[in-house]
A and B are shown apart, each in its own frame.
Chain A
Amino acid sequence: MIKINFAKFSLVLCSLLAVPTIASAQMSENLSISNAWMPALPPVAKSAAIYMDLENIGEEALQLVAVKTDIAEKSEFHTMKMENGIMRMMELEKGITLEPDSRYHLKQGGDHVMLFNLTNVPSTSDNVTLTIVFKDKSEKNVQISVK
């Protein structure tokens, strides 16, 4: 009878399980964010927009599906369209998808993170953190400058 060294067996089993996790990095690790900012607002403001530059530095498409923050009850990715002088704003229900090696800008007059019902209107001295949630459930925190 062959004696099975359980210790070695478990070790091999564990490393076999670990391989898939190491091989595919989480989406959150492949998103590079820069210039994340939001404007300082009047104390009566109930909504806000956050802007930032995104870059996919990985080899797979990134899907940003949700956002959350402490300073607002609800956060969503939104887009804006100007048609015949009419400004329309709506949710990007599928979030934002970034192909490998591509950049995307959330900016004034364009796509942005929309915060609803601010619980705290930030001033320039405040630290604001936004959490981006990816399709693979990974998350990434980003510090927002209030300008």
Chain B
Amino acid sequence: MITLKQKLGLVLPYVKNRVIEQVKAVALIITYLVFFQTMVLGIPIAQAAVIASGLALVVCGLTFFMEGLVLGLMPLGEVIGLKLPQKSRLPIILVFSFILGMGATFAEPAISVLKAAGASVKAWEAPLLFLILNKHSDILVYSVGVGVGCAVVFGMMRFMYNWSLKPFIYGLVGLLTVTSIWGYFDPNLLQLTGLAWDCGAVTTGPVTVPLVLALGIGISRVVGGGDSESGGFGVVTLASLFPILTVLILGLAFVGKVPEPMAENEFFSEAKKQDVVSLFSNENEYHAYALQNASIDSQLKSFGNDEQKMMDFISRISGDSALKSSLFIKPSFQQWVNKIATPAQKDAVILNSDSTSQETRATDKSSLNIFAMLKAQSLAAIQAIIPLSLFLLLTLWLVLREKLPVKDEVFFGITLATIGMTIFNIGIELGLSRMGGQVGSVLPAAYKKIELTQNQKQIPNFDQNLVQDAIDGEGNKSRFFYTLENQAYTAVPFNLENFRQEDQTYTYTPSRGPLYGNEGGITGIIVVLLFAFIMGYGATLAEPALNALGATVETITVGSFKKKVLMQAVALGVGCGILLGVAKIIWNIPLVYLLAPPYILLMFITYLSTEEFVNIGWDSAGVTTGPITVPLVLAMGLGIGGQAGVVEGFGILAMASVCPILSVLSVGLYVTAKRKEAIHQDQDNKSDSDTNTHVQPQIQKSA
């Protein structure tokens, strides 16, 4: 038997290599973010210790997760792919594929993010979106699930009948373009289009992609006809496109039943009430929504301008804890009372409520609770991995009646993947998201003046006599005062609103920028665009699903298409995409101008490319928007968008999906051309040597 020392001798280098690999993967993006915030923007990192430990967790989690994929999930998928076509008939394979696709969707954590996004949608601005994200959010998840299910079904049929991916791409993208253009003329559908394209991006996560890839590789090894080069790829593409279609269809089904977008006070008026209440499950919900989101005028309107009715309603809720918790989720009823309700409304509550104080304490807990986070994230990880693995194992054991080869490795792998995902998600929440959020919110300081709200200070004993007058070149007067900070006197503009008379306190928010050039100047914007590019590039290199895809591509092509090449091509593409997306936000360019030309170009390049590269290129686009890129991009998009007064992060993700397809297909065209060139050269030479052999007739043949 081997000794403990020998065991350590085996395990340590193994662990070391895996960790180093992941450190390399995330090093670029992390050092870059730190460097950019501290050196380029010159703003210290808040909560540095929390962020640092979060980043360490990301590395650790990625290490576990990737190893779990390689040991557990991918071999499991491949075994099923190999056995399924041998042991069962077509209908069973298709039913299995459909269930797998559906199941993968329910397991994907990002789906619940979409549901959470529904909370911020204002019912009067986007009634259709509101309806689908709230009252019918289950139907939304089902329709995305059906989309992914169909995608896996068609993907498997492609392998079995050797269909090309190109017709699917032309058909689906064509159909989606037409639908999206149609949606452009209907304000309700227009808002839904954004959601639909986002649904396509989130379905292909770090669990689904490797599993579906492995399954496809297995199946195409058994049934594959001629070309095995593209075997296994293409399902991810379909899984990105089909859900867009199903969500748009869902929208079309509901669009006739919802009112047009309108102003807030019109929305709550008596005339519209009939239409509007249909957006909610019942009238109580409608009233509760008004109380939580609308202005006091509109609230009154929703009760038919009858104040007594409103107070009765509030009293009724506060006395009924079941109603309370079903109608007020976020904010909870207590939070609503404390923060939103008017004094009159508060009075209506207090009349018959005695449990409020208790609830107040319960709800105002500290936000950073590591155990709650651990529990939530491990639940999410288990939910994402275990049901799917169980489904696969049961299929293997009960339907196929096969035993699982290297059982210990697979189970160990699944455990590793679950642990890895938990740690990884905690790391993202603690480290990467915060980091991204900070950089994102201060990034616009490069080209414009921004207020650093997190560094807000209160000056006690403020004396208004300190305030002085100043005048600019055009004779406009403004007021300011001096503060002493770090041994330096700084002038701070004075604003009467920030002065509290009661305790003589002045609240002052330091500001920064523009750091490069003038306010809104091009130099600063170039800095921001460059930042966006490098961030997209670095984050993509760390994406786990892309790493898995790259390794698979390298194995399938026996190293003639290196993982490194694919990763670089995709990362450059994502970088360019994010740069364009940020440009869209800064200059408020309509999305269609940015999306249409690349897609037209893409159709053309797809037509020119070989099947092999079409599959790989389109698939890599599907996996780019993963757990590392999305939080960073969203944080940055919201940061810049917030400063620029635009609240739509959608464009960036869409651009980050289309550009990598372009870059991978371009690399593909280059490689194909190079291979062809080599063959042509040979053939040219051959024609020369043919003439030679005619002159020199052959003499001898071997025995």
Task: Check if A and B associate.
Answer: no
